[in-house]
Amino acid sequence: MARRFRGESHHKVDSKGRVSVPASFRRVLEAGDPGYRDGDAPELVIVYGDHRRAYLECYTMEAIEEVDAKIAALPRGSMQRKMLERLFSGQSFPTTVDETGRLVLPAKLRKKIDLDNEAFFIAAGDTFQIWKPETYEEEEQAKTEAWLDELPQDFDPLAFLDAPAED
């Protein structure tokens, strides 16, 4: 099983859109890039997707290749395949982590999520997300807290791992 992203952190974004990638995230990017060799810049794909996304989703090369293979398995010409190709191929940005451990986020991507001088990184299993910190707190953190508040006080969320999958 491939290494997974873990944790969260805040990082400064400079005027050129450069932001440091957490060191532990860089190790996962390296492990998830089949072409990576020591001293190289690990490759990744940033999916910025549709208008509803308020974050950038960063995929290792292995993770995006898995998504691409599933899309390619759909019938050619089907609406699902066309839309998924648009969202994951067209609305994406292939890039590398530079020798100083930073990503350069183009102005278009920064503008899409209203990112200015600080970025919030959060692990999401085989991907990680980049958010404007205030947006994350208002939207995602609030959703998590509301979800937890609906559960009994002594409920352990790990119990969901043994439950049958919902359709």
pLDDT digits (tens, 9 = 90+) for 8-60: 999 999 999 999 999 999 999 999 999 999 989 999 999 998 888 999 999 99
Give the model's pLDDT for residue 167. Answer: 56
Best CA proximity match to 97, nearest among 35, 47, 25, 48: 25
Write down the residue that tokens 């050619």 correspond to. Answer: 76
Encode 20-77 in three state secondary structure: ECCHHHHHHHHHCCCCCCCCCCCEEEEECCCCCCCEEEEEEHHHHHHHHHHHHCCCCC
Percentage of residues of the chain with pLDDT beyond 70: 96
Q: Rounded distance, CA 139 to CA 134, Å?
A: 9
Q: Rounded distance, CA 23 to CA 16, Å?
A: 21
> Model's pTM, two decimal places?
0.89
pLDDT digits (tens, 9 = 90+) for 91-143: 999 999 999 999 999 999 999 999 999 999 999 999 999 999 999 998 888 88
Q: Rounded distance, CA 72 to CA 85, Å?
A: 9
Say if CB 39 and CB 114 are below 8 A apart. Answer: no
- Which residue ranges form the domains of the chain, and what is each CATH number? 8-162 (3.40.1550.20)
Give the model's pLDDT for residue 158. Answer: 86
Give the model's pLDDT for residue 92. Answer: 96
Give the model's pLDDT for residue 140. Answer: 85
Rg of the chain over CA atoms, in angstroms?
17
